[in-house]
Amino acid sequence: MHDSLRTTGVVLAGAAFLLAGAVATRTAANSHNPVQTQIAARTEAKSSAKPSGVPAVLNFKMKNLSGQDVDLARYKGRVVMMVNVASKCGYTPQYAGLQALHKKYAAKGLAILGFPANDFGAQEPGSDAEIGEFCQKNYGVEFDMFAKTAVTGAQKNALYALLTSEKTNPKFAGEVKWNFEKFLIGRDGEILARFRSNVAPDSEEMTKAIEAALAAKAPAKTTPPAPTKAAKVIKTDAEWKRLLTPEQFYVMRQKGTERAFTGKYNDAKEKGIYQCAACGNELFSSDTKFESGTGWPSFWKPLAAQSIATHADTMLGMTRTEVVCSRCDAHLGHVFNDGPQPTGLRYCMNSVSLNLVPKQ
Ligand code: FE
């Protein structure tokens, strides 16, 4: 029986069982941002060095159009849209759409922040006072406008360095290409979306993203951003049989176990994200994989607490904690409390339940 090897390994390792649900993990809130040192002469962005609780993307002080310092931490807990603006651009009429969004959603928690920049086609030549007057006169802008700055190139301000860097914003990195690009930031400080200049503020795409972000509650400050928030995947056994290999079906839908030392990820050292082989839910990072010697790929924590779910498993006359995919309920393996620090947990997984997506 396949499970006998695992059972022996577990007993030898002196594993005790865990109560389901005791596997939540934490990550420290962002408190320091390395790009803050890249402040260029032209920019007004400065680190406000908040001790904790302020998301990295709001950990800056910027000057407003009147030259006063504004601590971006004041927007904590709100949905924030950061837009680089210009007065003489083909997209300048988007000010009207942005003002409409402000009218509609400010009371619900949206903050629009405009950052004038002369970076693209020299389409923002005026002074801060002239920019303010232009916005007021032509579009009745009421959302918060900041002093003229740079959002690209060597002069780019530290906030935009964070927004465009692969290191600090891996999902949406890359230079700003033109006026009126928009970055959408969730209540928890997670950068949720990026819209290029041609996506209108009143487009369905943008409205939907804003409404979804507003609907999310601000989490406690120790809660990490959830990498996966997808809806449940529910299929019949017949449907799963068509999608999965017989071995995957046996393990993932019938709670089977692959034989120890036979799985393709047991010795895998490649960097990347391990997804659920059935539904693509992101489950584990290679950064938390370790050599357990058990014959199954082992991790000391899931990518996020909400990537997986756990259930008490009393099969085989033992009480163990089963680990399933939170999205499709596929059986993945078990979790034991004989893992390495910092969690002390060992997520003992079946290779066939996983799909490694190598790091780009
Ligand atoms: Fe899944």
Q: What is the pLDDT along the chain (360 residues), one digit of tens a residue?
A: 344 444 333 333 333 333 333 333 333 333 333 333 333 333 345 444 444 589 999 999 999 998 989 999 999 999 999 999 999 999 999 999 999 999 999 989 999 999 999 999 999 999 999 999 999 999 999 999 999 999 999 999 999 999 999 999 999 999 999 999 999 999 999 999 999 999 999 999 999 999 999 998 765 544 444 444 457 888 999 999 999 999 999 999 999 999 999 999 999 999 999 999 999 999 999 999 999 999 999 999 999 989 999 998 887 777 899 999 999 999 999 999 999 999 999 999 999 999 999 987
The CATH number covering residue 338 comes to: 2.170.150.20
**H helices present in 307-360, as ranges:** none
Do both 66 and 96 map to the same domain? yes
Amino acid 52: pLDDT = 58
Rounded CA-CA distance 323/310 in Å is 5
> Is 225 a domain residue?
no
Amino acid 192: pLDDT = 96
Longest CA–CA span in the chain (Å) reads 78
Q: What is the distance in A from the centroid of ligand 1 to the CA of 292?
A: 24
Distances (CA, A) of 238 to 2, 160, 245, 253, 350: 24, 50, 12, 11, 22
- What domain count does the chain have? 2
Do both 163 and 187 map to the same domain? yes
Do both 71 and 116 map to the same domain? yes
Q: What is the distance in A from the centroid of ligand 1 to the CA of 211?
A: 27
Q: Which residue range(s) make up the domain with 109?
A: 34-215
What backbone torsions phi and psi does residue 325 show, to the nearest 5 degrees?
-70, 130
Which residues sit opposite 313 in a β-bridge? Answer: 320
Token pair of 36 as six digits? 């803050």
Rounded CA-CA distance 54/253 in Å is 42
Do both 285 and 322 map to the same domain? yes
Amino acid 53: pLDDT = 85
DSSP assignment letter at 146: B
- Number of alpha carbons in the 13 Å side-chain half-sphere of residue 150: 15
Cβ burial of 187 (10 Å; 0-12, 13-18, 19+) is: buried
- Taken in order 70, 76, 79, 83, the sign of the CA dihedral is positive
Q: What is the distance in A from the centroid of ligand 1 to the CA of 262?
A: 22
Q: What is the distance in A from the centroid of ligand 1 to the CA of 337?
A: 23
CB contact at 8 A, 188 and 172: no
Residues contacting 8, CB < 8 A, separation 6+ = none
Do both 198 and 236 map to the same domain? no
Do both 76 and 170 map to the same domain? yes
Do both 165 and 43 map to the same domain? yes
Amino acid 75: pLDDT = 93
Q: What is the distance in A from the centroid of ligand 1 to the CA of 280?
A: 6
Residue with tokens 């490649």: 270
Is the model's pTM score more than 0.75? no
- Total Cβ atoms within 10 A of residue 158: 23
Do both 123 and 262 map to the same domain? no
What residues pack around ion ligand 1 (CB closer than 5 A)? 276, 278-279, 281, 325, 327-328, 330
Q: What is the distance in A from the centroid of ligand 1 to the CA of 279?
A: 4
Considering only CA atoms, which of 100, 124, 125 is closest in space to residue 110?
100
Token pair of 217 as six digits? 């509650």
Q: What is the distance in A from the centroid of ligand 1 to the CA of 324?
A: 8
Residues contacting 292, CB < 8 A, separation 6+ = 298, 339, 346, 348
The catalytic position among 89, 279, 328, 348 is: 348
Q: What is the distance in A from the centroid of ligand 1 to the CA of 350?
A: 13
Considering only CA atoms, which of 158, 207, 157 is closest in space to residue 182?
207
Amino acid 313: pLDDT = 85
CB contact at 8 A, 76 and 57: no
Amino acid 230: pLDDT = 56
Amino acid 316: pLDDT = 75
> Is 224 a domain residue?
no
CB contact at 8 A, 136 and 99: no
> Is 220 a domain residue?
no
The CATH number covering residue 150 comes to: 3.40.30.10
- Among this protein's residues, is 348 annotated catalytic? yes
Q: Which runs of E-coded beta strand occur in 204-345?
A: 272-276, 282-285, 289-290, 298-299, 308-313, 320-325, 331-336
Amino acid 8: pLDDT = 38
Do both 119 and 187 map to the same domain? yes
